[in-house]
A and B are shown apart, each in its own frame.
Chain A
Amino acid sequence: MNYATKLLLVSLIITILGLFTIYSLGSRSPKVGALLFFYRQLFWIVIGLFFLFLTYKINYQRFWEISYLLYGIVILLLILVLILGNVRLGAQRWLKFLWFNFQPSELAKLSIIIVLSRYFSQRWQIYLESEKNSFLKDVIFPSFIVGVVVFLILQQPDLGSGILIFFIYLGLLYLSKTKRTYIGLLLLIILILSPLLWRLLKDYQRDRILCFLNPNLDPLGVGYTMMQSKIAIGSGSLFGKGWLAGTQGQLRFLPEAHTDFIFATFAEEWGFLGCSLLLFLYYLFISYSLKIAYKTEETFAKFLAYGISLMFAIQIFINIAMSTGLAPVVGLPLTFFSYGGSSILISFISVGILLNINKRL
């Protein structure tokens, strides 16, 4: 088996585990339509697989060509969200397309990776030819590209995606030929500007961060979610309560049990053993995708594969960390697992890109 097959296999196993968990959430409710989420997720997985196949067939070089167009579309969509987004949970992240809600920030993650990959591979080429560094071109320019998107996303507000994109950017900077001192300088500037960023956050986001630092601050409000998540995970113990036997998620003590906190729902039913298996699968998945990034000789592909790997890795880590109370509740889906069409679609497309890169090794 080559990496591509393994990668696809692992991601499918994880997706199926996610489906099981979403099924379990609706299984005991006597209400009609309790399994709606399950069927919708199934539908999106089928659509996602179709798109995976499509991107697998398309040469990834095509993304080089459309990168700035894509970037432009993302900016436009993000602005559209701000103007006429569907407000849900105090945040407007969705655009209503016909009959489904599309989340542009999911697309933003991928397109940022594509744009930066193109930009940094171009810089790479220039470096190889002239060995020249430029703070403006190596740091200020890409920071602007990222900054605009992050600013728009934070306005929604979607703290999780904003942070994720920022980390992806740092990772790509690290991979690029940018001088380490420049990167240090950038971090210093952000540190100095951080009080300003703090003011950019919405009240509830600040609450979440404060509450993460001190969970006893507000046990009924923001702390409630974190506490219920910990109860769900902890009560799973070694073997878990068993599939379909969870109570925290099924009886709705755990908010967002099928989206942001689906890891807690899974952990409750499958226990430490199940969690260890899931973590291992994710670890395999990231390792395979990093392997592809490692092996490819083409710079754009390398950045692309590395960026996608980072996107998955950071998103998975932040999600699990916040479910277990290691990180503040920022609202990020768990890749392949959480309910949500946009997330599933973008994840499968990203896998498709990786597979295509692998094909051309």
Chain B
Amino acid sequence: MRQIKRTQIFLFFLSLIVSVRLFNLQILEGHKFRYLSRANCIRIVPFVGPRGRILDRDKRILVDNLPTYEVAVFPQDISKIDGFLSQVSSILDIPSDKLKGNFNKISNSSLPLVLLNNLDKKTAIVIEELKFKFPQLIINMVPKRYYPYGNLASHLIGYLSLIDYWRLTKWQDYGYSIKDTVGYGGVEERYDYYLKSQSGGLQVEVDNRNRIVRILGYRTPKAGKDIQLTIDLKLQKIVEEALEGYQGAVVILDPHTGEVLAMASSPSFSPADFLEEKNLNFYFSASSSPLINRAISGLYPAGSIFKLILSYIGLEKANIGKNKTFFCEGVMKLGNEEFLCWDKHGSQNIFEAIVHSCNIFFYRLGLILGADLIHNYALKFGLGKPTGIDLPEEKAGFVPSPLLKRVKKFESWFAGDTANFSIGQGDLLVTPLGICRMISIFANGGKLIRPYIVKAIDGKDISKYQRKIIPLNLETIHMELINNAMRKVVEDPEGTAHFLYMPKIPIAGKTGTAQVAKKLSHAWFSGYFPADNPRYSICVILEHAGPSLYACKVTRYIIERMLEEGLL
């Protein structure tokens, strides 16, 4: 029969259609559907690993982690745990409405929702017992940052917070994702890539109602790498004690290597506050800007400390020996303007001028040298550009020149500008770290160092890669003269830093009093000690504290305490 034959052919075509369809779904689109089927039934319960610890140079722990516990639940199970919420609210004394409000907003996620976090072990055990009645609960250990010394070194450490949009877009390619906690400021930010832990998790298979059917896999979370700083915990403590009550910064470097031994900025903040996310408004709105690390981000006029650079140029370029003197009457007239000295020093050679910090001498010297030469040498001594320290937010500072003034301000450079420049005033701006590095050049015999704060990552010493020491090829005799003068600044009863004089330990340094319009001046001291074999270079600045004496007081306190603690 024809009809049956035709039916057979017709059915053959139907099966061909079905085969083509199956080929399309299973072979051509198989990958897509495989993915969709996995997405249907696989969920991840994330486990967070501890972040790397931050240690001082002797491996004392500056920042640690403590275990806390969190209680989570899959979004689909929320309705089943109303009873749990009311029990928990009575145990923890939190209104249950508040508990529920926490997660209603985000109940579409496929990840578990955190109901409670930051629980201590005792509470976690109590809740663990409730798990018998509410098997949907997921109780996880979550490491939490712990700061055993409170505010200590807060600017160096930084704080932790949720990743922001800007960082997320920048770091996405490095494995960061939304809801990550990352470091802000300090080592936490700069070395976040090493410090951050690799989160692990439980991969579970769920059915259509999100009930866990079985566990597919487990990846242990990996702890972040420990970071060892160059900071000396004892010294850091001393420095912060000394700064207490002032607004300012202190930097102490190893002048030979560039290791930052202590660095403090006042006022400081408590990184722990950022974990609780409370009282943060103050930090962001206070006029004293406690979050700013003044040691690297604060810009100040250099004041008289800048005279050291001028002295060197004078010795090398203008052949101004010990015989050349200028006469100080306390005032110098330049056109219609009067330029003042803080005293009447009479006849001063370069040595005396440094010891007494005579302005008139350096006005005159500066006018002889010219602004461009001073500008070039200031750059050579490392001012006007970032030191390259491994901390975020470092400022460059600014070294003026006639050309820059014309380009930036469209103004001409006058002799008065040169005079101001010569005593470290005018448009010149420096960071305390920049000054400390500059002073280190005198301490280490003419080498420009690069300050750094991280000594080792994960136990591996990286000093080799951190150190960048550039010899500046400065004339040794000239340096010696200036160094001797700096010693006299402290030793000579007429010296500006004689307050610092301690028979036990020779100190070399230079004071500065940076004038500020309408406010008390900034007090500077920068120097190194012990003077015959420098191990420490120091820079102290106190904002609007008045004369440099205050900076000397802070310095004296630090050195005395160092002697007490056996650091010298």
Interface residues of A (CB under 8 A from B): 28, 171, 174-175, 228, 230-238, 247-248, 251-253, 267-268, 271-272, 275-276, 279, 282-283, 286-287, 290, 293-294, 302, 306, 309-310, 313, 317, 320-321, 324-326
Contact = CB atoms under 8 A, between A and B. Distances in A.
Contacts of B27: 237-238, 272
Q: How large is the interface on B (under 10, 10 to 19, 20 to 34, 35 or more residues)?
A: 35 or more
Which of A232, A235, A287, A313 has the most C-beta atoms of chain B within 10 angstroms of its own C-beta? A235
Nearest to B19: A279
- In terms of DSSP, what is the predominant structure of the interface of chain A? helix
Interface string B381-392: 000000000000
Contacts, number: 123
A326 B18 contact: yes
Given A233-B26, A238-B27, A293 B40 contact: no
18 contacts: A230-B33, A232-B37, A233-B25, A234-B34, A234-B37, A235-B38, A238-B26, A247-B40, A253-B207, A276-B19, A283-B15, A290-B11, A294-B1, A294-B5, A306-B4, A309-B7, A321-B21, A325-B21
A325 to B, nearest CB: 8
Given A28-B213, A310-B7, A247 B33 contact: no
B470 interface: no
Given A230-B25, A231-B36, A236 B7 contact: no
A97 to B, nearest CB: 32
Interface string B8-44: 1001101101110111011101111110111011000
B213 A253 contact: no
B21 A251 contact: no
Contacts of A248: 37, 40-41
Contacts of A283: 11-12, 15
Interface of B: 1, 3-5, 7-8, 11-12, 14-15, 17-19, 21-23, 25-27, 29-34, 36-38, 40-41, 205-209, 213-214
A286 B11 contact: yes
B4 A317 contact: no
Which of A175, A251, A253, A294 has the most C-beta atoms of chain B within 10 angstroms of its own C-beta? A251
B32 A234 contact: yes
Nearest to B207: A251
Contacts of A174: 3, 7
Which of A231, A306, A309, A325 has the most C-beta atoms of chain B within 10 angstroms of its own C-beta? A231
Contacts of A271: 26
A251 B214 CA distance: 11
Given A28-B213, A231-B33, A310-B7, A320 B40 contact: no
B20 to A, nearest CB: 10
Given A251-B207, A283-B12, A272 B23 contact: yes
A240 to B, nearest CB: 9
A236 B26 contact: yes
Contacts of B208: 251-253
Contacts of B21: 321, 324-326
Contacts of B1: 175, 294, 302
Given A175-B1, A310-B7, A276 B205 contact: no
Which of A171, A247, A248, A310 has the most C-beta atoms of chain B within 10 angstroms of its own C-beta? A247
A322 to B, nearest CB: 11
A293 B4 contact: yes
B18 A235 contact: no
Nearest to B21: A324
A276 to B, nearest CB: 7
Nearest to A29: B213
A309 B22 CA distance: 23
A225 to B, nearest CB: 12
Nearest to B23: A272
A235 B3 contact: no
A251 B31 CA distance: 20
A352 B14 CA distance: 26
Which of B22, B31, B34, B206 has the most C-beta atoms of chain A within 10 angstroms of its own C-beta? B22
A175 B18 contact: no
